[in-house]
Amino acid sequence: MNRLQWPGSTTAQAALMASNWVLFLWVGAAVAVIVWGLILFAVLRWRRPRSVGADVPLPPQFRRNNVLEIGWTLAPLAIVMILFIYTYRAEAGVEALVPNPDLTVDVNGYRWGWTFAYRGGPTVQGTFTNPPQLVLPRDETVRIVLTSSDVNHAFWVPAFLFKRDAIPGHPSAFDVRPERLGTYEGHCAEFCGYAHALMGFSVKVVPPAQYARWRGGGSL
Amino acid sequence: MTAAPASFVTTPRSDVLSWITTTDHKRIGVLYLTTSLMYFAVAGILALGIRTQLARPANDFISSQTFAELFTLHGTAMIFLFVAPFALGLANFLLPLQIGAPDMAFPRLNATSYWMFLFGGLTIFAGAATDEGAASNGWTAYAPLSEIKISTGLGQDLWIVGVFIVSVATILTAINFVTTVFIYRAPGMTMWRIPIFAWEMVATSLLIFMAFPALAADLLLLFVDRHLGGHAFDPAFGGSAVLWQHLFWFFGHPEVYVLILPYFGVISEIIPVFARKPIFGYTGLVLAAFAIAGLSMGVWAHHMFTSGAVDDPFFSFMSFLIAVPTGVKFFNWIGTLWRGSITFATPMLFSLGFLMNFLLGGITGVMIASPPIDFQAHQSYFIVAHMHYVLGGGSLFAIFAALFFWWPKMFGRKLREGLGTWCFWLLFIGFNVAFLPMHFMGLEGMPRRVYTYDAGGTLPLLNLIATSGSYLMAMGVLLFGWNVVVSAFDREPVDSDPWGANSLEWATSSPPPEHNFDTLPPIRSERPVFDLRHPELDPSALA
């Protein structure tokens, strides 16, 4: 159940997604409680007791109520409008690309491994038997440019609350700004064949100085 | 002793050949239902294989390749060979009866559709007998994974051909339904008096017209790519891997509503009977069905939020809007229950189970229509949970409701109610035990379509719970099979209207004669059989 709380502090983008999730969770819970409650109430309140036979008089045969029906069309409409406005703003923040990222990494997915090519820096490669690690500096905006050299894959770091498809011939870019030190698991999230389940990687977020040392050829 | 009246089952010509050559809509309906239930049994066994493999982390019950074949055939069979064709079979049986017609508009086309469906399904499964095994790229068969460079096996080709045949059969049947409902209605049966189920089938058929040709085109392009030198989905030659997804989901999302609208119709027929009230907001329900159908044509790319290739906000907005007509339907069903005189026969239990389960599927549906949530949930077990709450908790429960409700009309004897109640509770509890934990697996970071997962964290426990739920469901399904067997020996005759129901199929004998009706009652509302039972009530005076 603790997974209902999304880790919003791992990246700047995750904070936006986590607060959007909380809103949907509460609205969803409220709708569930109200509608489940109405169904159960109606079923229990107006069940026909076993003691009465089939000869009880008919219940009232009403079949419409225009005011109610217009009301329960407009109310959900209002709710989804509000949800959309909120979600639109969260999404714009998550997908915004800064003009000058601090660091750009070209990520390539292939059957079955990943290549992380730091522009102007090292290239890390690893297959599913020896998963690669993506080292990122904390508090710097990282541009990931994602593609694939064979079939569709998807780059997913659950702790960052984000994934993006790696589609051959259709590169796409997103920014991520890590804010918490740590090592996070990543998976391929798009089925890509028999070793799909094993096509993992990890992301290690380190202080900028440590990152610079690693990039210069030092150890972590 | 008088002989039992001849029915469509026991005509003078009731040998095997007469069933093979039949053009009677009721027999074709029964063939459709039986065949789709057999495919359901197979797809269910495949699901048990999947759940058994995932019961423990790093399990070696089956190989990665077998696992991929299992989830591919499970999804393909459940969607193309069970949930959709069950609705087609039910509509085949019911539509002419509900509108007071002697048969479908095109009886021979109808038979053609059935046989194409049967053999299309067998073609898909035939892949399992080939050297490289059955298709193994999921029911979505994303290119370029499904291109011949990667998927060299004949299984993928048989999948393409089989699904193509089934999709053409579906289009032909939709033509038949629309024509039948529009022009074969009995005198007095105006469009605003046809049962909600018939309306939902009209909306479903219109969706089939628009969606299935895109699937057929997608499949043809893939076949041309694989064997005739095409490059539609091959970026190395100017093709586009995104194109497959666009065509597939342009079909695939309306398809979701093809899989649910008929079952909205089913429970809209059943709830009024067991609440002893007219359906609440008939007009609203019909308009909502068409609103859902219309909107569903504009939401396909919400399956592609993470592709970076589509306008996420537009498709998000359209997807949110679908919640509005769906909500209207929910409130109308609650309005039908309101102040009713409610009894809990098995069809009603399954209909209420539908409401409870489907609500959760609808709520998670609104969640994943929000791109910032979908970025996390997409292709994870959260999606698996969501879609099973819609198609398993929703459609499957309505299917069982329909089986228990219309079984006496089809075969002249009721399924046993006691066994039916047990069947319901096993399925209801089993379903929720199996699929509720999958929400948490997805949030924990478990991708879908994986045959193994890490032993750390809560995933092993959640998976074990889910697997035990799937076994409970299997027991429920077995109990249904047992019910079919034992009730076949019941000799208690069923009259024309065992439930005290509303629509016209309950005005003829159970099972109906080959020509459907000897006489038709006057049709003055959407529930002519109710009006017949209650001549003291004037249908036009009911507000």
Which pLDDT does position A44 carry in this prediction? 96
Give the ipTM: 0.96
* B310-319 pLDDT, tens digit each: 999 999 999 9
| Concatenated DSSP letters of B103-115 | S-S-HHHHHHHHH
Residue B409 above 70 pLDDT? yes
Q: Name the strand (E) or helix (H) holding A208.
A: helix A208-215
Contact criterion met (CB < 8 Å) for A191 and B145: yes
Q: Which of B283, B309, B370 has the CB atom closest to A83's CB atom? A: B370
Which residues in A lie closer than 8 A to residue B281 (C-beta atoms)? 63-65, 69
Helix (H, G, I), strand (E, B) or coil at B380: strand
Q: Which of B312, B313, B324 has the CB atom closest to A76's CB atom? A: B324
Report the pLDDT averaged over residues A65-88: 95
B373 in a domain, yes or no? yes
Which residues in B lie closer than 8 A to residue A87 (C-beta atoms)? 316, 370-373
SS (H, E, C) B228-243: CCCCCCCHHHCCCHHH
Which pLDDT does position B10 carry in this prediction? 77
B123 in a domain, yes or no? yes
Give how far B7 is from chain A: nearest CA, Å. Answer: 29
Give how far A107 is from chain B: nearest CA, Å. Answer: 15
Q: Which of A17, A48, A188 has the CB atom closest to B372's CB atom? A: A17
Which pLDDT does position A39 carry in this prediction? 98
Give the model's confidence band at B4: pLDDT under 50 very low, under 70 low, under 90 confident, else very high.
low
Contact criterion met (CB < 8 Å) for B449 and A191: yes
Does residue A75 share a domain with residue A179? no
Which pLDDT does position B6 carry in this prediction? 77
A220 in a domain, yes or no? no
A contact test, residue of B376, B380, B381 with most A CBs within 10 A:
B376
Q: Which of B364, B371, B458 has the CB atom closest to A91's CB atom? A: B371
Segment 100-129 of chain A within 8 Å of chain B by CB: 111
DSSP 8-state secondary structure symbol assigned to residue A11: B
**Average pLDDT over chain B, rounded to an integer:** 95
Residue span of the structural domain in which B262 resides: 27-541
B133 in a domain, yes or no? yes
**Residue after which a domain boundary falls, among A31, A63, A95:** A95
Residue B453 above 90 pLDDT? yes
Give the model's confidence band at B1: pLDDT under 50 very low, under 70 low, under 90 confident, else very high.
very low
Which residues in B lie closer than 8 A to residue A158 (C-beta atoms)? 376, 444-445
Nearest CA in chain B to A51: B343
Residue A66 above 70 pLDDT? yes
Does residue A12 share a domain with residue A88? yes
Segment 16-75 of chain A within 8 Å of chain B by CB: 16-17, 20-21, 24-25, 28, 31-32, 35-36, 38-39, 42-43, 46-48, 54, 56, 58-65, 68-69, 72-73
Does residue A121 share a domain with residue A70? no
Give the model's confidence band at A125: pLDDT under 50 very low, under 70 low, under 90 confident, else very high.
very high
Give how far B197 is from chain A: nearest CA, Å. Answer: 17
Question: N- to C-terminal Cα distance for chain A?
Answer: 35
Report the pLDDT averaged over residues B61-66: 96
Which pLDDT does position A218 carry in this prediction? 86
Does residue A204 share a domain with residue A120? yes
Give the model's confidence band at B2: pLDDT under 50 very low, under 70 low, under 90 confident, else very high.
very low
* Residue found by looking up tokens 């969501």 in the block: B386
The CATH number linked to A32 is 1.10.287.90
Q: Which of A43, A65, A158 has the CB atom closest to B352's CB atom? A: A43
Q: Name the strand (E) or helix (H) holding B434.
A: helix B417-444
Give how far B338 is from chain A: nearest CA, Å. Answer: 6
Q: With pLDDT > 90 as the criterion, what percentage of chain B qualifies?
A: 93
Residue span of the structural domain in which A140 resides: 103-215
Give the model's confidence band at B540: pLDDT under 50 very low, under 70 low, under 90 confident, else very high.
confident
Cβ atoms < 10 Å from Cβ of A72:
21
Q: With pLDDT > 70 as the criterion, what percentage of chain B qualifies?
A: 98
A209 in a domain, yes or no? yes
Q: Which of B317, B340, B542 has the CB atom closest to A46's CB atom? A: B340
Report how far residue B12's alpha carbon sits from residue A73's, in angstroms, rounded to the nearest whole number: 53
Count of alpha carbons within 13 angstroms of residue B513, beta-carbon side: 12
Number of domains in chain A: 2
Question: Could you tell me the two tokens for B99?
Answer: 């509108």
Which pLDDT does position A156 carry in this prediction? 98
**Residue after which a domain boundary falls, among A95, A115, A140:** A95
Does residue A89 share a domain with residue A51? yes
Whether the Cβ atoms of residue B117 and residue B166 lie closer than 8 Å to each other: yes
Q: With pLDDT > 70 as the criterion, what percentage of chain A qualifies?
A: 96
Which residues in B lie closer than 8 A to residue A10 (C-beta atoms)? none
Does residue A113 share a domain with residue A179? yes
Does residue A116 share a domain with residue A87? no
A170 in a domain, yes or no? yes
Number of domains in chain B: 1
Report how far residue B65's alpha carbon sits from residue B153's, in angstroms, rounded to the nearest whole number: 12
B444 in a domain, yes or no? yes
**How many CB pairs lie under 8 A apart between chains A and B?**
260
Does residue A120 share a domain with residue A85? no
B417 in a domain, yes or no? yes
Report the pLDDT averaged over residues A89-114: 96
* Residue found by looking up tokens 């489907």 in the block: B358
Count of alpha carbons within 13 angstroms of residue B222, beta-carbon side: 32
Which pLDDT does position A5 carry in this prediction? 82
Contact criterion met (CB < 8 Å) for A17 and B138: no
Report how far residue B535's alpha carbon sits from residue A25's, in angstroms, rounded to the nearest whole number: 50
The CATH number linked to B277 is 1.20.210.10
**Residue after which a domain boundary falls, among A59, A75, A95:** A95
Give the model's confidence band at B542: pLDDT under 50 very low, under 70 low, under 90 confident, else very high.
low
Give the model's confidence band at A197: pLDDT under 50 very low, under 70 low, under 90 confident, else very high.
very high
- For residue A111, the one-letter residue type is R
Helix axis angle for B241-258 and B196-227, nearest 10°, is: 160
Which residues in A lie closer than 8 A to residue B142 (C-beta atoms)? 151-152, 190-191
B22 in a domain, yes or no? no
* B484-538 pLDDT, tens digit each: 999 999 888 899 999 999 999 999 999 999 999 999 999 999 999 999 999 888 7
Contact criterion met (CB < 8 Å) for A64 and B145: no
Which pLDDT does position A57 carry in this prediction? 84
Nearest CA in chain A to B271: A43
B19 in a domain, yes or no? no
Confirm or reject contact between A145 and chain B (CB < 8 A).
no
The CATH number linked to A172 is 2.60.40.420
Does residue A195 share a domain with residue A173? yes
B7 in a domain, yes or no? no
* B320-375 pLDDT, tens digit each: 999 999 999 999 999 999 999 999 999 999 999 999 999 999 999 999 999 999 99
What's the farthest any 2 CA atoms get from each other in chain A? 88
Which pLDDT does position B543 carry in this prediction? 56
Report how far residue A11's alpha carbon sits from residue A6's, in angstroms, rounded to the nearest whole number: 12
Which pLDDT does position A8 carry in this prediction? 83
Q: Which of B334, B360, B537 has the CB atom closest to A38's CB atom? A: B334
Segment 161-200 of chain A within 8 Å of chain B by CB: 161-165, 167-170, 172-174, 185, 187-198
Does residue A32 share a domain with residue A132? no
A138 in a domain, yes or no? yes
Give the model's confidence band at A52: pLDDT under 50 very low, under 70 low, under 90 confident, else very high.
low
DSSP 8-state secondary structure symbol assigned to residue B504: G
Lowest mean pLDDT among A51-60, B15-24, B431-440: A51-60
Q: Which of B242, B363, B543 has the CB atom closest to A167's CB atom? A: B242
Does residue A203 share a domain with residue A180? yes
Which pLDDT does position B414 carry in this prediction? 94
Which residues in B lie closer than 8 A to residue A82 (C-beta atoms)? none
Which pLDDT does position A54 carry in this prediction? 62
Contact criterion met (CB < 8 Å) for B375 and A161: yes
Going by C-alpha positions, the residue among A173, A104, A112 that lies closest to residue A136 is A104
Whether the Cβ atoms of residue A108 and residue A148 lie closer than 8 Å to each other: yes
Which pLDDT does position B285 carry in this prediction? 97
Report the pLDDT averaged over residues B260-273: 98
Report the pLDDT averaged over residues B251-262: 96
Whether the Cβ atoms of residue A5 and residue A82 lie closer than 8 Å to each other: no
Which residues in A lie closer than 8 A to residue B341 (C-beta atoms)? 46, 48, 56, 58-59
Instruction: Provide φ and ψ at A142, rounded to 5°.
Output: -105, 130
Which residues in B lie closer than 8 A to residue A59 (C-beta atoms)? 275-277, 339-341
Count of alpha carbons within 13 angstroms of residue B30, beta-carbon side: 17
Nearest CA in chain B to A195: B64
Give how far B23 is from chain A: nearest CA, Å. Answer: 38
Confirm or reject contact between A91 and chain B (CB < 8 A).
yes
B contact test, residue of A149, A172, A190, A202 with most B CBs within 10 A:
A190
Q: Cite the beta strand spans of chain A per DSSP E.
A: 103-110, 113-118, 123-127, 133-137, 142-148, 153-157, 162-166, 172-176, 182-188, 200-206
Q: Are strands A133-137 and A142-148 parallel, antiparallel or unpaired?
A: unpaired
